[in-house]
Amino acid sequence: MTDIVDELKWRGLFALSTDENALRKALADGPVTFYCGFDPTAASLHVGHLVQVLTMRRLQQAGLRPLALVGGATGQIGDPRPTAERTLNDPETVGAWVTRLRSQIEPFLSFEGENAAVMVNNLDWTAGLSAIEFLRDIGKHFRVNKMLTKDSVARRLESQEGISYTEFSYQLLQGMDFLELYRRYGCTLQQGGSDQWGNLTAGLDLIHRLEPDAEAHCIATPLMVKADGTKFGKTEGGAVWLDPEMTTPYAFYQFWLNVDDRDVSTYLRILSFRSRAELEELEKQTEERPQARAAQRALAEELTTLVHGAGQTAAVIAASRALFGQGELAELDAATLGAALSELPRLQVAELGPVVTLFAEAGLVASKSAARRTVKEGGAYVNNVKVASEDAVPGEEDLLHGRWLVLRRGKKNLAAVELR
């Protein structure tokens, strides 16, 4: 198990540790139970959470025992954001989201064997706790001056909005989680992101105060930022979710396929389960032939398979190829085709008109005359079929699933027409 520290370091997953030497010794003595927490502040996890979920999987494969905490209690409060107060969701909504998040995490962990994973919910030990008991038994051991040093708290205090006592108390709740898991399961290691370091160590301090002989540790992964300085996991359309109804498998695949060359090696090391030799070979290919995008394809295929399954991955790859004339569009199922076309410029029409009009109105060319030149030069395609005549008018029999046409100019310029 001690090798896992070196593996995490090589992969860029070991940003912070409370005491690396002591952690290595604890791993050598083994076995070690660890936990990572996820708050149901939305109906789905996003790809930022995927870093933690896959790190849990990696630690379990190394022999550690994982506790996956979905916070039915902390999800009703929410970790303070640096900018503004969160909107509090009602307990019923949070409870439903707990179930959804659990179902997203469970497939990544094994619930069999000596280090079988356990799903836990901090509502189990907070629901029956009175405010007086919480303040006396937990709040007594926290120092406000130290709590004020947390980055998100400090930023909020400097803002006009300030911070409510509700969100300020979040540190106490997460700290109590580590203590309870230590007492209930012998959990001695907490894993999380480096932006959560203040919350991670709050629990460690609480354990040391109430269990003086206990040995416990915290490790944190780095905060991932794209090479262009924007936040990892964000697109123009918002977060990239794991729920297929919130981010389609096609869009999920495309997100990874379009990763910047400067980022792809970092993402592969952090998220992929390929061997070191395989990753180094992909890094070499990116350096020598970046236009082939071999690393991006490997990353997109592996992560889409992990999250959505091999069948969905095959479907989105087939859709990607078919859109660019390397497969049959008519063979794609309606859901996959619709998801693929949702990523393209889209023209909605009440009736089908001439091809040159459709090309111009879809924005593939500047005008109808430009569309006629494109047709004449052999660069206009409808459903991957070359348009032979400038006067061509698609019929309803040409519609894919009775609804769509796929327009293409040249090899790479695409648009969708939807008959309303």
| Binding-site annotation, residues for ATP | 234
DSSP state of 238: E
Q: Which residues are annotated as a binding site for L-tyrosine?
A: 35, 170, 174
Nearest to 393 by CA among 357, 355, 360: 355
412 close to 345: Cβ distance less than 8 angstroms: no
Give the strand pairing for 187-193 and 217-221: parallel
Distance (Å, rounded) from C-alpha 306 to C-alpha 315? 14
- Residue type at position 171: Q
Q: Which residues are annotated as a binding site?
A: 35, 170, 174, 234
Output the six-digit token pair for 163. Answer: 């911070």
Distance (Å, rounded) from C-alpha 76 to C-alpha 60? 29
Which of left, alpha, beta for 235 (phi over 0: left; psi -120 to 50: alpha)? beta
CB half-sphere exposure, 190, CA atoms < 13 A = 30
Distance (Å, rounded) from C-alpha 260 to C-alpha 254? 12
- Distance between start and end Cα atoms, the chain: 59
